[in-house]
Amino acid sequence: MERSCLAIVLAAGESTRMKSSMSKVLHPVGGRPMIAHVMEALSQADIASAALVLGRDAEAVEKAARRGDMTVSSYLQTERLGTAHAVLAARQAIAEGFDDILVVFGDTPLITADPLKAARKGLAAGNDIVVIGFETQAPFGYGRLVIRDGALVAIREEKDASDEEKNITYCNGGLMAINGRKALSLLEQIGNSNAKGEYYLTDIVEVANAQGGQAIAVAAPEAELMGCNNRAELAIIEAVWQRRRRNEMMLAGVSMIAPETVFLAFDTVIAQDVLIEPNVVFGPGVTIESGAVIHAFSHLEGAVVGREAAVGPYARLRPGANLGAEAKVGNFCEVKKAEIGAGAKVNHLSYIGDAFVGEKTNIGAGTITCNYDGVNKHVTTIGANAFIGSNSALVAPVTVGDGALVASGSVITQDVPADAVAFGRAHQTIKPGRAKLLREKYLAEKAAKKQAGK
């Protein structure tokens, strides 16, 4: 679209009903702040300039909203005198002379680019105001969009609506587009002659019509306009977002056995022909390559899972975990900041952190890389085709060479050369009959305590 556009993002709410120590728009949906989702939709609608109207936690909100492909300016709203008053907090940006002004809210993270583009097309067609609305079978409490001969003549609030108007099911979604050349004039004519003494943005429709302008409405899915006022609504929005994202992935070739139990992050990347079993959680920064299987009850964050690799069940991949093709991290294993080479196996009950594991190496059950000395982290390097026996502790910094074998139960504190066998355990000693003597001793001590009433 050739027309210039400024998006005014209203994000100055006090978050009172959220009962939160931070701004409402900073609460995450899909692992990123609500306002970041809104900014993403604006970017996809080809909007290159945004004005943030901020209040609480202004610096943090501004940081969450910033994008490399968008010019963002910020304005502080010091008083709360209604939505039109909030928009005018960005008066300086409005006065720059954009063709289109688009007003959106920072707490509507489900909005997509399509309704925003439709609103802008309405302005391009010569309308002065384009309101984004939605159809609902439960309109109670919403402002009704009063349409006559295709034009929007008013937005009627529930308390002011006539009986006839209350039957209208086309409702105000709150978002709107305004002719940028007339925006300041129209906004400044909005009065506050109402019970609350506030300046309502919805009144701009009647102001524009009174001046001979034209207002229309365009429809969007109701879910996309869902705002968030409390944590119960936040959970509903999260569920809608997750359902939408899962559906997109399944249509793109990802298999999910029980999709309602899989939770994704905003940047989760999963290739086709990946199988996701039930109860899997993806934190931010995860990429899964084709043919991989993520077994049930696994948690992944900041990790890459290579082609035809397998994770879980009950596995945890922390940031920096990178699994090569056909690698396996099995049940009750944790991997953090570690490269697991192609075909390598970390099958069960192991912790591999700050490490490199070569191709086709086998890590036995109960193996840990001791990467922390209480102050600093150190690296463990294990070569290709090595075998680490069960219940071994590799004390970093340490290197185990290609083809080396570490005997079960070993504590390895020195480098192991390639193709060598390392034993790092005490020599086994047997004391015949000693167990019987110790057992008799312990039973006698127990009986004595009982007799003494202890």
Catalytic residue among 85, 299, 348, 378: 348
Picking from 147, 171, 148, 149, the residue whose alpha carbon sits closest to that of residue 158 is 171
454 within some domain:
no
The span from the CA of 242 to the CA of 109, in Å, is 12
The residue from 225, 250, 277 where one domain ends is 225
CATH assignment of the domain containing 31: 3.90.550.10
Tell if the pTM clears 0.85, that is, is over it.
yes
299 is a catalytic site residue? no
432 within some domain:
no
Task: Write down how long the chain is.
Answer: 454
127 within some domain:
yes
Q: In 3-state terms, the chain is what percent helix, strand and coil (to 5)?
A: 25, 30, 45
Please check whether residues 214 and 342 belong to one and the same domain: no
The span from the CA of 106 to the CA of 12, in Å, is 9
CATH assignment of the domain containing 282: 2.160.10.10
Three-state secondary-structure class, residue 449: helix
416 within some domain:
yes
Please check whether residues 25 and 170 belong to one and the same domain: yes
Please check whether residues 182 and 236 belong to one and the same domain: no
Please check whether residues 280 and 401 belong to one and the same domain: yes
Please check whether residues 291 and 316 belong to one and the same domain: yes
Full DSSP string of 170-205 = EEEEEEEEEETTTHHHHHHT----STT----GGGHH
The residue from 225, 242, 258 where one domain ends is 225
> Can you give the pLDDT at residue 1?
58
Over its length of 454 residues, how does the chain's per-residue pLDDT go in tens digits?
589 999 999 999 887 889 999 999 999 999 999 999 999 999 999 999 999 999 999 999 999 999 989 999 999 998 888 899 999 999 999 999 999 999 999 999 999 999 999 999 999 999 999 999 999 999 998 999 999 999 999 999 888 888 899 999 999 999 999 999 999 999 999 998 877 888 999 999 999 999 999 999 999 999 999 999 999 999 999 999 999 999 999 999 999 999 999 999 999 999 999 999 999 999 999 999 999 999 999 999 999 999 999 999 999 999 999 999 999 999 999 999 999 999 999 999 999 999 999 999 999 999 999 999 888 999 999 999 999 999 999 999 999 999 999 999 999 999 999 999 999 888 878 889 998 998 899 899 999 988 887 5
Distance of CA 233 to the CA centre of its chain: 16
- 8 A C-beta contact, residue 281 and residue 313: no
Judged on CB neighbours under 10 Å (0-12, 13-18, 19+), 395 is: middle
The span from the CA of 63 to the CA of 69, in Å, is 14
Q: How far is CA 169 from CA 158, 225, 253, in A?
A: 12, 15, 37
Split into its structural domains, the chain has a count of 2
Residues near 169 by beta carbon (within 8 Å), at least 6 away in sequence: 135, 136, 137, 139
The span from the CA of 47 to the CA of 7, in Å, is 7
268 within some domain:
yes
43 within some domain:
yes
62 within some domain:
yes
Please check whether residues 134 and 56 belong to one and the same domain: yes
> Can you give the pLDDT at residue 80?
85
Please check whether residues 284 and 344 belong to one and the same domain: yes
Alpha-carbon torsion angle 72, 73, 79, 81, nearest 10: -60
Please check whether residues 109 and 241 belong to one and the same domain: no
> Can you give the pLDDT at residue 365?
97
Please check whether residues 153 and 295 belong to one and the same domain: no
The span from the CA of 265 to the CA of 343, in Å, is 27
Residues near 210 by beta carbon (within 8 Å), at least 6 away in sequence: none
Question: For strand 269-270 and strand 287-288, is the pairing parallel, antiparallel, or unpaired?
Answer: parallel
Query: Residue 359 has which token pair?
Result: 């191709």
376 within some domain:
yes
The span from the CA of 141 to the CA of 171, in Å, is 10
Please check whether residues 401 and 275 belong to one and the same domain: yes
Please check whether residues 71 and 99 belong to one and the same domain: yes
- Domain membership of residue 164 as a residue range: 5-225
Please check whether residues 249 and 158 belong to one and the same domain: no
- 8 A C-beta contact, residue 294 and residue 277: yes
Residues near 160 by beta carbon (within 8 Å), at least 6 away in sequence: none
The residue from 168, 192, 225 where one domain ends is 225
